[in-house]
Amino acid sequence: MSFSFDLLNKCSGTNARRGRIHTGRGEINTPVFMPVGTQGTVKAMTPDMLHQLDVEIILGNTYHLYLRPGHKLVKELGGLHKFIGWDRPLLTDSGGFQVYSLGSLRKISEEGVRFQSHIDGSYHFLSPESSISIQEDLGADIIMCFDECPPYPATYDYVETSLDMTLRWAKRCKSAKKNDGSALFGIIQGGMFEDLRRRSAEETKEIGFDGYALGGLSVGETKPLMYNMVEATVPFMPEDKPRYLMGVGTPEDLVENIARGIDMFDCVMPTRNARNGSLFTSSGKLVIKNSRYERDDLPVDEKCACYTCRNFSRAYLRHLFMAKEILSSTLNTIHNLHYYLNLMREIRSAIEENRFAQYKKEFYALRDAGIEQL
């Protein structure tokens, strides 16, 4: 398998680290943000647009692709990369979080999860073995173990029982994996309990995976609690493997968790917010529908070099959004993804130059100073 991770730099004064993941389809520079392509598309974007933004890896969703169009069809047509026209690395999640999100539409047992499709109500069963098989049919470069994501809040006893099952499922996932072309990441659970997070990290590490993810965060807990859980867990994660915080998050979340030693992130926030007219800038969030932008000829962010900011005014973007034009989603998504990817580039440079702590201070100072201007 052509998968490896090089730890290139560590920044003094924080746990921030700079690395590089090697895959058969290209390199991934870390810290990295992965745009979410739930159903085989990063919404409102073409693969060429993603190339122009220098996206190195995108994420696909096992649950959604299993239901529609079906993993067997995708495999028959050459795999997910060929099916969606994407020639760079791909990560697929296991479907565990989506099944968790179904609530009353699913029933968990030792064997796996029986659930109803959100599309047509039909019944399906997903197990550790079938999750791995589906992901291998899709042909992702990085695949994830099937886990149970406990709800928040949850009792200690519930989370401990859930964690024990997730560990048993992780062993089954590793045994079920047959394709040497994919790297397999284990998922650390443990809810909001430091001792369970530590045990999960240690026992998942004992099973042995190509990378390690933190799951079960950003599920309704406060930001300080999420940061505490990351801080309590990272010391027990292998230093020589990628560390992935699943489903996170805001620009502040990325900065805070990179400071705590995380390498990889994904979140629907930049794309979903773009479609809702909420744009990320160096000074904070800008809501483009606000009437104050009706005659504003400035770009979204004067510090931004994206295609949208180079060519269009706030007034035009507001017009597109209010008129419900399709182009609104595209131009807003280009901007938001550029913002996230550029944030990662700046952070990687700051770590390489051993000035991440200063960068973090400047990041917050710029937002505090500029928020009134938006």
Which of residues 238, 267, 296 is at a domain's end? 267
> What confidence tens digit (pLDDT) does each residue in 127-157 have?
999 999 999 999 999 999 999 999 999 999 9
Sole residue written with tokens 């096992």: 62
Do residues 240 and 357 both lie within one domain?
no
**CB 213, CB 185: distance < 8 Å:** yes
Do residues 259 and 286 both lie within one domain?
no
Do residues 227 and 327 both lie within one domain?
no
Known catalytic residue at 253: no
Do residues 342 and 199 both lie within one domain?
no
> What confidence tens digit (pLDDT) does each residue in 158-169 have?
999 999 999 999
Q: How far apart are CA 96 and CA 278, in angstroms?
A: 29
Which of residues 203, 238, 267 is at a domain's end? 267
Considering the candidates 93, 137, 147, 253, report the single residue annotated as catalytic. 93
Residue 41's alpha-carbon distances to 96, 247, 340, in angstroms, are 20, 17, 18
SS3 194: helix
The total of structural domains in the chain comes to 2
Do residues 256 and 312 both lie within one domain?
no
Q: How far apart are CA 172 and CA 191, in angstroms?
A: 22
Do residues 38 and 91 both lie within one domain?
yes
Which amino acid, 221? E
Do residues 301 and 229 both lie within one domain?
no
Do residues 330 and 247 both lie within one domain?
no
Known catalytic residue at 266: yes
The CATH number of whichever domain residue 134 belongs to comes to: 3.20.20.105
Q: Is the pLDDT at 260 greater than 60, yes or no? A: yes
Q: Is the pLDDT at 126 greater than 60, yes or no? A: yes
Q: How far apart are CA 374 and CA 282, in angstroms?
A: 11
How high does pLDDT run on average in the chain? 96
> What confidence tens digit (pLDDT) does each residue in 53-111 have?
999 999 999 999 999 999 999 999 999 999 999 999 999 999 888 877 877 788 999 99
Sole residue written with tokens 């730890």: 7
Do residues 288 and 221 both lie within one domain?
no
Considering the candidates 120, 266, 297, 301, report the single residue annotated as catalytic. 266
Q: pTM for this structure? A: 0.97
Q: What is the pLDDT of residue 266?
A: 98
DSSP code per residue over 222-245: -HHHHHHHHHHHGGGS-TTS-EEE
Which domain covers residue 92, as residue numbers?
Answer: 4-267
Average pLDDT over residues 221-228: 98
Sole residue written with tokens 């499922």: 169
Do residues 120 and 45 both lie within one domain?
yes
Which of residues 267, 282, 307 is at a domain's end? 267
